[in-house]
Amino acid sequence: MGLIEDQKLAKEAVHVIGILYGGGSLHIKNAIENEFLERLATSESPASLRKHLACFPKEMRSIYMKTILEN
C-alpha cells in the first residue's frame, strides 16, 4: 500500500469513529476517547496537529483537543 491509500483508509476510519461517537452511548464515547483518541494524542506533535484535526469530523475536533490537554 502506498501513502495515498493509507491516508484514505485513515480518513475512512476516522469517519466511522465519528459516526460511532455521534450516535453512541456514554460507554461507547468513553471507549473511543480512552482507546483511540488518547493513544493518538500521546503521539501528537505540533507539526501534525493541524493535519490530524482536518481529518476529524467537526464534532470530534473539540473532543480530540480536550483529550490532548488532559494528557
pTM over 0.95: no
Q: CA-CA distance, 47 to 8, in Å (whole number)?
A: 20
What three-state secondary structure class fits 24?
coil
The helix, strand and coil proportions of the chain, stated in percent and rounded to the nearest 5, come to: 85, 0, 15
For residue 43, what pLDDT is reported?
86
Mean pLDDT in residue range 1-10: 81
Query: Of 69, 42, 52, nearest to 17 (Cα)?
Result: 52
Helix (H) or strand (E) holding 10: helix 3-23
Contact 63, 37 (CB under 8 A): yes
